[in-house]
Amino acid sequence: MATKAKRAKAKTSRLTRELLETAHDMRKSGLLTRAAHEKITMRHGGVAPIVAASLTGEEIKALREKCHVSQAVFATYLNLTADYVSKLERGEKRPSGPALVLLDVIRRKGIEAIL
């Protein structure tokens, strides 16, 4: 029984490698967009570069105001403190990690994307 599981795992692993190689070749030849390639890579390879654009304090404040929410509500959406959001907006701190990724998602897709 353990041998079957090993074989199935090896098949899946080989299939995944082939899929990723094909996606890479399609991306190189221009048949696949960057976004589609990253989606396939993340889904099947478990590895994709997370490239979130760095945001200035002014951009974060404009983003929050565009959503028509207070600092406290915005902080709740991002699972941060209102004080931290205030520091981000003043430029005292720079967003990083999950906060940066969430801010980038809100910037690209709107606040509805995380609600």
Residue ranges making up the domain that contains 10: 2-45
- Overall domain count for the chain: 2
Residue 42: Cβ within 10 Å count: 13
Give the tens place of pLDDT for each residue, 11-29.
457 878 888 888 888 888 8
Half-sphere exposure of 84 (CA within 13 A, CB side): 14
Contact 9, 37 (CB under 8 A): no
Asked if 107 and 72 sit in the same domain, the reply is yes
113's CB contacts (< 8 A; 6+ apart) are: 105, 106
Specify the pLDDT at position 49.
53
pLDDT for the residue 48: 47
Distance between start and end Cα atoms, the chain = 45
Q: pLDDT digits over 42-88, tens only? A: 777 665 455 567 899 999 999 999 999 999 999 999 999 999 999 99
Give CA–CA dist 33/39, Å, rounded.
10
Instruction: Decide if 50 is inside a domain.
Output: no
Q: Which residue has the higher pLDDT, 101 or 74?
A: 74
Indicate the residue type of 96: S
Give the torsion sign (CA, 76, 79, 84, 88): negative
Instruction: Note whether 40 and 64 are same-domain residues.
Output: no
Burial class (CB in 10 A: 0-12, 13-18, 19+), 54: exposed
Residue 107 in domain: yes
